[in-house]
Structure 1
Amino acid sequence: MPTPFQPPKKPVSADASLSQVVDHCRLFVNGKQIPGEVKHSAALGLLAERCSEEDSGFVWLSLVEPTQQQMTRVAEEFGIHPLIMEDAVTAHQRPKVERYEDQLFIVVRTVKYSGFDINEDSIARSRQIITTGEIQMVIGHGFIITIRHRTAFPDVGSRLGIEATVACGPMSVAWAVADVVVDNYNKIARELALDVDELEEEVFTPQSSFNVDQIYLLKREILEMRHAIDPLDPALRMLMAGNVDLIDPQISSYFRDVLDHEIAAKDDVASFDERLTALISAAVAKVTLQQNSDMRAISAFVGMAAVPTLIAGVYGMNFENMPELAQPYGYYTVIAVMVVLVLTMWYLFKRWNWL
């Protein structure tokens, strides 16, 4: 049976394929954004047309998880260094700053905190309470390209609304992104402080019940956050110290402020890690003491049960001549002796804090 005729599919152009991963492409001139979006392939040409010798401007292209082919297309349009192109496609990178001739490649890690519940039945639901993403930034002459992986793009509108800041060039966008990301670090650190305090209260409250697994869970997630934020400290220092010719002095001072906030967040998270380590030791010690106390109580109850068992065993040997066998109240006398001995042992164990 002949197959029905199907018209040939039109090949997808490179521009159409690239447009699928473009968040936006914007043009900034003299510190102001030109209204509307521009086409990425014509962005640099439009910038050259709008900027005279007295004007300054840049193109901001934002991408989301481009493929190797799509990134190759962007590299051809903007003249990106080949080594930067390779890194931009690869996710799971540590925060870093690398320079290739007159281009910078900056990587920052985003952190999202989903909240932590210390209830025992929430252990399974609380896994992966801290998730990380990645934002890469390629800064060159007259452009910045931001590439996000596994994260939403931070809201930098308020920071880029300052005309004098945006007039400093594409590094202003890099600063705005880093500033929002680091501010979120400090916000999460404050939330973690409350959770760590709550765990400490649970562990050190007398006669409280707690689950050590919750401490291990939070410690594991805090380690994940440390891996995301700790390398940003040396990266920012390298950015400001080794690239003075590419960074406006005003933006450099802004980056110093970001570094101060990052150091504060890093120190806070490191202290949480240390506190949880000590908390694990305290929790294990408390569990061990509780187990010893339980074993001592069990031993006391076994001892209390052994005395009447011993007396009953003696009277179960069936000798003809035994005390109280011929007495009408012998049974009650033996039971009374058992009760008195058990109560005496119970009193002594309570006095010795065995029960």
Structure 2
Amino acid sequence: MSTTDSDDRAVGVPGVPGVPPTRRPRPAGTSRWQPAPRDSATPVVDCAVYVDGQRQPEVSADDALQVATERDGFVWLGLHEPTQEELDHIAQRYELHPLAVEDAVEAHQRPKLENYDDALFMVLKTGRYVEHEHLTATSEVVDTGEVMVFLGQHYVITVRHGDHSGLKELRHRLEGQRDLLCLGPSAVLYAIADLVIDNFTDVATDVEEDVAELETSVFSPERTDDAARIYQLKRELLQLRRAVAPLEIPLTKLAERQIDVVPDEMRSYFRDVLDHALRVRDQVASMDELLSSILQAALARTSLSDNEDTRKISAWAAMIAVPTLITGVYGMNFQHMPELSWRWGYPGVLLLILVVCWFLYRGFKRNGWL
């Protein structure tokens, strides 16, 4: 799942002076959320006008809004990490609210939905599972990005941050669903939200495998130290939770409230996305609780292992104390000591040491100390 506008980055866009309209091909074997090379000349990834659910012939980014308004359609403008100056230029033409523009440039925003007069501004976190051969105490498991959506009567502008997202496939899929695009710009917002949640579902499923691996390791017969790995996975899971949980309120507003730029027909679509988001939220919460239990079990097992080691050391120390005591007494070299002149004194003392140590060993072994 992703939040970008194209993997085949438009190096040039009609209407942007000095930039030829060419495309860079998408590398083979890449995943559906892929880095798109940033063209330093323009932040525009793709720009298209849709009328009656169909994409119109290419128009420049400067003329797209006028064409869409005249034909009672809408323009979908995709941007990638625009600068303040670049977004200010677009904001003037589309009359975007300055507070929303500031949020779109700064990034690192919390998922939210803002209503500005006759326009909406929504922030969504995107997520990607980072593949790794073996989970370590420093493994990065979840990588997040952001996509901001400006929604008006005749436009939808997507601004993405992060290198792992792409909306090219989504755009192509939507262009094959004319009935959905006929519902206006909110159909694009629904499709993006649905893609984001579907991607989080995949991420949560992959993270579950890491949780299962940790659980198996903690309760395996082998002695392992998994506390650091569990803590790292909990931190990564917290990042996923911060991306998914805040979406409940924005999606609830879109599904239940009357909003001018969102037709009533779209509410059922947003309710479906909300249901999926709540499912992912509960899944993440369950994994977090399970990890807490696994961490407690790992710490308890470590403590138990330490106690076993302490008992073994104590048992061996007790057995070593017997010969130490006896030999220490006879090593004082006083002239008048019992049995110094006895012929069998030396072997008798050795036998006494062995007998006492054997009884101690049996006692400790019976009690589980050894």
The 2-side partners of 1:16 and 1:349 are apart by 86
Contact 1:118–1:199 (CA under 8 A) maintained in structure 2 = no
Q: Does 1:229 align with 2:241?
A: no
In the TM superposition, residue 345 of structure 1 has moved relative to its aligned partner by: 1.3
| Code of the aligned partner of 2:91 | A
SS of residue paired to 2:63: helix
Contact kept in structure 1, 2:217 and 2:226, CA below 8 Å: no
Task: For residue 20 of structure 1, give the secondary structure of its aligned residue in structure 2.
Answer: coil
1:14–1:70: 8 Å Cα contact kept in structure 2? no
Deviations 1:273-315, CA, capped at 9 Å, x for gaps: 1122222222222222221221111111111110111111111
Aligned to 1:4: none
Report the counterpart of residue 6 of structure 1 in structure 2: none
Distance (Å, rounded) in 1 between the aligned partners of 2:216 and 2:249: 35
TM-score (norm 1): 0.87
2:299 corresponding residue in structure 1: 284
2:130 to 104, 110, 114: 114
Please state if 1:304 is matched with 2:319.
Answer: yes
1:143 equivalenced with 2:155 (yes/no): yes
- Residue 353 of structure 2 is matched in structure 1 by 338
The answer (yes or no) to whether the contact 2:88–2:101 under 8 Å persists in 1 is yes
SS in 2 for 1:353: coil
Give the distance between the partners of 1:77 and 1:69, measured in 2 at CA: 13
Maintained 8 Å contact 2:255/2:270: yes
Give the equivalent residue in structure 1 for 2:34: none
Aligned residue for 1:85?
101
- Relative to structure 1, the CA distance from residue 147 to residue 318 in structure 2 (aligned partners, 3 Å threshold; closer, same or farther) is same
- Indicate which of 23, 27, 36 corresponds to 2:45: 23
| Equivalent pair of 1:202/1:209 in contact (CA under 8 Å) | yes
Q: Which amino acid aligns with 2:145?
A: G
State which of 55, 61, 69 in structure 2 corresponds to 1:40. 61
1:73 aligns with 2:89: yes
Between the aligned partners of 2:18 and 2:281, the Cα distance in structure 1 is: 42
Deviation at 1:75, TM superposition (A): 1.1
- Cα distance, 1:178 vs. partner? 0.7
5+ long unaligned stretches in structure 2:
1-14, 20-39
How far off its partner does 1:84 sit?
2.3
Alignment-mate amino acid for residue 59 of structure 1:
V
- Which SS does the other structure have where 1:208 is aligned? coil
Please report how far the alpha carbon of residue 24 of structure 1 lies from its aligned counterpart in structure 2 after TM superposition: 0.9
**Shift of the alpha carbon at 1:77?**
1.8
Q: How does 1:134-283 map to 2 (within 5 A)?
A: 134-151=146-163, 152-154=165-167, 155-156=169-170, 157-283=172-298
Aligned length: 333
Q: CA deviation at 1:190?
A: 1.2
Three-state SS of the structure 1 residue aligned to 2:205 is: helix
Q: Looking at both structures, which has the greater relative contact order when contacts are Cα pairs under 8 Å and sequence separation is at least 6?
A: 2
Structure 2 letter corresponding to 1:71? L
CA distance in 2, matches of 1:314, 1:100: 93
SS at match of 1:245: coil
- Per the alignment, residue 30 of structure 2 pairs with none
Greater mean alpha carbon deviation, residues 199-208 or residues 270-279: 199-208
Number of the residue aligned with 1:314: 329
SS in 1 for 2:260: helix
Note the C-alpha offset of 1:129: 2.1
User: Are the aligned partners of 1:324 and 1:331 in contact in 2 as well (CA < 8 Å)?
Assistant: no
Root-mean-square deviation (CA, aligned residues, Å) is 2.3
- Listed one character per residue, the Cα deviations across residues 33-73 of structure 1 (whole Å, up to 9, x for unaligned) are 235x4311111233356x2xxxx421111111111111110
Tell me, in whole angstroms, the C-alpha distance in 1 between the residues paired with 2:339 and 2:207: 71
Following superposition, the deviation at residue 117 of structure 1 comes to 5.8
Cα distance between partner residues in 1 of 2:224 and 2:63: 65
Cα distance in 1, alignment partners of residues 342 and 296 from structure 2: 61
Contact 2:151 2:261 in 1 (8 A): no
2-structure distance, mates of 1:147, 1:111: 16
In the aligned structure 1, how far is the partner of 2:100 from the partner of 2:260?
Answer: 20
CA 351–118 in structure 1, closer or farther in 2 if over 3 Å, else same: farther
User: Is residue 2:157 matched to residue 1:123?
Assistant: no
CA contact (8 A) 2:214 2:226 kept: no
Cα drift, residue 80 of structure 1: 1.8
Q: Is 1:102–2:118 an aligned residue pair? A: yes
Contact 2:152-2:261 within 8 A present in 1 as well: no
Distance 2:267 2:256 in 1: 9
The question of whether the paired residues in 2 share the 8 Å contact of 1:165 and 1:251 is answered with: no
User: SS at the partner of 1:61?
Assistant: strand
Give the Cα separation in 1 of the matches to 2:314 and 2:90: 76
